[in-house]
Amino acid sequence: MDQKSKICILFGGKSVEHEISILSARNIVSYIDETLFDVILVGIDKMGRWFLVTDVVDSIDKGEPLQLILDTEEPSFYSVKTGIKVDFDVVFPVLHGTGGEDGSVQGLFKTINVPMVGTGVLGSALSMDKIVSKQVMRDLGIPVAKFISFSRIQLEQIHYERVVSMFGLPFMVKSAALGSSVGVSKVSNEEGFSRALKDGFKFDERVVIEEFIDGREMECAVMGNEDPVAAGPGEITIVKDYDFYNYAAKYLDRDAVRIDVPAKVDKSVSIEIRKQSIRAYKALHCNDFARVDLFLKDDGSVIINEINSIPGFTDVSMFPALWEQEGIPNDKLITKLIDMAVERWERTNHIKRNFK
């Protein structure tokens, strides 16, 4: 990028991952290269209202209420309070979960032809949906856990005995389209199954039930578009008494896990993890960057768990740490992501939309 650009950092959101988004955005703002970018901060509160703010704070609704001007020639925000237009060149959504990673906000900015960092409408929707993403990867021969899925109206068809006969014990129950392990339960008995279903349907209209994978938990950072590349994997090891890597272990208990960057694996295993991660990234039509979560079994096989199309940038997040070990510090990484997004937008912007 030849000149200083106005980057709209979009954070918060009407999502159960609202607080994690704030932590990620705070780090991105602290590392972004201010010699290259002017930062505009737009927060979305838990009610879904948009505000112009001067800092990445929890009290988003203390900012100036905004409206979006839907003009493909000069897209901008409009301050309801001051009447001032706030224009921007690129949007960097740092929104985790519903409304941020599911293609919704991506479609909004695509409609008004604004460059946006990260995966587009199709890839976001695919990656966010645990059921559809597993179906796509499975059909392309990418290794995933065995699974079944149900909607809320099928609740009476979900029988504990049938699930046990398919997967044994324990097994996992997950809300279909959430992140940060919200709505996820590990089930070891029938009573726990009832609780898991109740929790899963609390956050979504569908749940996925899948076999429990007994393996080492790995994460792999992927970046790029036509020819994506992957960093060496990192490993997460739970060192306290948690059933699995849940929300509390991820964000509330700093002593819950040990994170190894890079993961202590043989070179051949690292190559296989990168290979399968890139396959999953391409299969789900990801753009610019994503984090692939996976399991490494004792026999050396890799099982893809899921893809996070807007991975965390918190102090404990794996995505930036994995690229830092590859020699790309946070400030350079953020610049690279923005540059890739603009290059991709410029390339696709030449496509004709008018047929005569």
Q: What is the pLDDT of residues 164-180, one digit of tens each?
A: 999 999 999 999 887 65
Residue pLDDT, tens place only, 32-53: 999 999 999 999 999 999 999 9
Q: Is pLDDT above 90 for 129?
A: yes
Return the closest-CA partner of residue 220 out of 147, 141, 305, 287.
305
Placement of tokens 């609704």 in the chain? 61
**Residues in Cβ contact with 301 at an 8 Å cutoff, skipping those fewer than 6 apart:** 143
Helix (H), strand (E) at residue 235: strand 234-238
pLDDT-derived band at 98 (thresholds 50, 70, 90) equals confident
pTM: 0.92
Tokens for 4? 């200083």
Give tens-digit pLDDT for 239-280: 766 666 656 556 556 677 889 999 999 999 999 999 999 999
Domains of the chain plus CATH, in order, are 5-116 (3.40.50.20), 146-211 (3.30.1490.20), 216-325 (3.30.470.20)
Question: Computed from CA positions of residues 6, 286, 57, 23, in that sequence, does the dihedral angle turn out positive or negative?
Answer: negative
Q: Please name the amino acid found at residue 209.
A: I
On whether the CB atoms of residues 76 and 87 are closer than 8 A, the answer is: yes
pLDDT recorded at residue 2:
58
If phi > 0 it is left, if psi is from -120 to 50 it is alpha, else beta; for residue 104 that is: alpha
202, 194 contact by CB (below 8 A): no
- Pick the range with the lowest mean pLDDT from 26-30, 201-205, 238-242, 276-280: 238-242
**Contact yes or no for 167/211 (Cβ under 8 A):** yes
Report which residue type is found at 136: V
Q: Is 117 exposed, middle or buried (0-12, 13-18, 19+ CB in 10 A)?
A: buried
Cα four-point dihedral sign 277, 278, 279, 282: positive
Q: Is 349 helix (H, G, I), strand (E, B) or coil?
A: coil
Count the Cβ atoms, other than its own, within 10 Å of residue 275: 13
pLDDT of residue 253: 61
Measured CA distances, 261 to 215, 220, 323 (Å): 18, 10, 10
Q: Which residues are CB-contacts of 227 (< 8 A; sequence separation ≥ 6)?
A: none
Least confident of 49-58, 79-88, 345-354: 345-354
Residues in the chain: 356
